[in-house]
Amino acid sequence: MPAFPGLEIESDETVWQGRFPLQVIRFRHARFDGRRSGLRTWELWRRGRAAALLPYDPIADQVVLIEQFRLPALAAGVDPLMVEIPAGLCDPGEDPAATLIREAEEEIGLTPRRILPIGDFVLTPGGCDERVAIHVGEVTAPPGGADGLVGRAGLQAEDEDIQVRVWPAVTAIDAALEGRFPNSVTALALLWLAARRDRIRELWKKTT
């Protein structure tokens, strides 16, 4: 745990050592009023760094999104067939830019020609240290069927079952604005695109 002014760690125990460790930490910290907090106990799930890419075609004005089954979403009471952008955890010491390029190649079969950062976000600050770097990447969207369906992808070694679909950018943005994407990373990326779409199209068309 990095040092922080006013933070005192009383105990730190790893209670689960699976793929992602779970720690139970007892601590005190400085309150905003200057007093010491009472003894607090938090569970901390250690997932680490991640990266995600919004694949955007500025010429066709389309985004490439994926769909896959997420058991935790079902547990949360939402549709487990989630619409997402390609994403994954960084290997130890790996730069997030390398991660998102690898994930895009594995999950949609595309390599972005260039990328721009959107932001770096802690997804669940109340219980998990996962921090995801989101970028937008320039791609050429593959042709899709009448419903935008391109096909299926994913690593067989990881038993991934991913469906790839092309969306008109305005349709995907409208869905995000209407709250129809409960996946926070997808929503963040598309809401950013809503604010920056014209600027990105102009920039990438000029430098193509």
| Residue 160 is labelled as binding a ligand | yes
**Which tokens go with 194?**
């809503």
Give backbone dihedrals phi and psi of 198, rounded to 5 degrees, phi first.
-60, -40
- Give per-residue pLDDT as tens, 94-126: 999 999 999 999 999 999 999 999 999 999 999
- Give per-residue pLDDT as tens, 18-40: 889 999 999 999 999 999 999 99
**What was the pLDDT predicted at 88?**
95
| Residue 103 is labelled as binding a ligand | yes
Mean pLDDT across the chain: 95
Averaged pLDDT, 75-91 = 96
**What was the pLDDT predicted at 208?**
61
**What was the pLDDT predicted at 206?**
72
**What was the pLDDT predicted at 146?**
87
- Give per-residue pLDDT as tens, 120-138: 999 999 999 999 999 999 9
Cα 36 to Cα 31: distance, rounded to the nearest angstrom: 6
DSSP secondary structure string, 3-58?
A: --TT-EEEEEEEEEESSSEEEEEEEE-B-TTSSBPPPEEEEEE---EEEEEEEEET
Give the 3-state secondary structure of residue 148: coil
70 vs 152, residue with greater confidence: 70
Alpha helices by DSSP H, listed for 77-155, are 96-108
| Residue 8 is labelled as binding a ligand | no
- Give per-residue pLDDT as tens, 133-155: 999 999 999 998 889 999 988 77
Is the confidence at residue 170, as pLDDT, over 90? yes
What amino acid positions are annotated as catalytic residues?
A: 158
The β-bridge relationship of strands 62-69 and 49-57 is antiparallel
Q: What pTM does this model have?
A: 0.93
